[in-house]
Structure 1
Amino acid sequence: MTRAEPGEPTLAAPPPAPGADPPTSRRHGYGTVVLAAFALVAAGDLSALALGADAGHTVLKPLLMPLLAAYAVLRQGPPLLVAALLFGWGGDVLLLGDADPLFLAGMGSFAVGHLCYLALFRRHGEHHAPARGTFVVATYACALIVTVALLWPDLPSDMRIPVAGYSLLLTAMAFGATTLGLTAAAGGGLFLLSDTLIATDVADWAQAPRPDFWIMLTYLAAQALLTRGVLTGALTNGSAPERR
């Protein structure tokens, strides 16, 4: 290519291809890398729990939700989703301690995260048909009543009201997740299962071998599925289209 002489027309840069959006493409590429990092750290954390390596779990657990939140940011997820994940991170860190005040504070952090999820479901979810909605409400209500009734006698007296109140909020979140489709519904159900396993430990019920492994496995799957469900549901149920 030769330099144009004065007065000669210059060649204009070719226009971008239709639909091309390099910044968005780069952001999505970074998102894929961050999601892969989340999967690797999750695998490492679960391996540490399976092997009884408490130090590994202590190091890796606090990295998980920030990575998932970073993925949500890079995928242009709703701010409430990022907030829910970061409040989950707060609960994760607080529950690394053994003291009751830390446990209650962690429960409170997760509770705020559930409120964020509920706001998301209200904004982006679709209403069920009346018959289906009644069935789903009845199913979750029965699960809540039976679980709290069974746990209540064995819970420490100072934990009964907090656990019952948290269980009500958690069940509402799990029900709300059903309005965003099967992916989010599965995430809500797994979150309910994960925290129920924690409650059985607080109630001093007999536990399966390596109970922390099963708690963390269901919890990580829950947060990942909720994140995916919200990102997909926010796109298809009324948010501005995400560029691809």
Structure 2
Amino acid sequence: MALRLVQVNFKARDDSALGRFWAEALGWGVSSEGPGVTNVEPVDFDWPDPVAVCVDVVTVPDPETVRYRTHLDLNTTSAAHQTGLVTRLKELGATPVDVGQGDVPWTVLADPEGNLFRVLEPRSVYRDTGPIAAVMVNCADPRAMARFWSEAMDWTLHEVTDDHARLRSAKGVGPYLEFLRIPVLKTESGRVHLDLMPYPGDDQAAEVARLTALGATDLDVGQGDVPWVCLADPEGNEFCVLTPG
């Protein structure tokens, strides 16, 4: 049994507006499965496919204060591409943010609802990831997080140190999932989480039981009677297990 990382979920005040921003930022298209939900994915994409981790934007009545434990890193292929992308993102409504990063080669921005993300300088490791280089999660213990997530998913662990861990789909495509050690973590609820999906024919309840045995815990975020299951990883990061598909 194994799970796939299929999308990053953003809670939003306005799913349509935030979805349009991310579609323009990534060069993807938008669709909707119903009121209050905007799906952002590559044009003509047959979801799910590890070649891309999509973005799902959901309007909620009262989004939590932004917490910066999970963010996207955007890929660039040249210095000119990075400069041009930052300029275009600002025109779309992104704003520069100073988080104490100092003199670094990447640019930190916030989307129109305040979610942080980074536009990276060109890096060879991300040359074939697509527009999203990595989904980044701040944590206290990258080694422990790598153990949990590499067992939770069918993704391959590429690198792990005391400060950083990097995983990627076993098929060698799409963005990376990375864990970065941060001395002081935010503890309040966040607005960005990961959605995992079992393979067709696998049992959602069995996967949830397996994750619980690995150290995940049940999480009640007021979701009510829904077909997905909300859990928290060993460091308290929310994620959802969707129905098989």
TM bin (shorter chain):
under 0.3
User: Could you say which structure has the larger radius of gyration?
Assistant: 1
Write 1 or 2 for the structure with the bigger share of helix: 1
TM-score (norm 1): 0.27
Q: Which structure has more RCO (C-alpha within 8 Å, separation ≥ 6)?
A: 2
TM-score (norm 2): 0.27
Write 1 or 2 for the structure with the bigger share of strand: 2
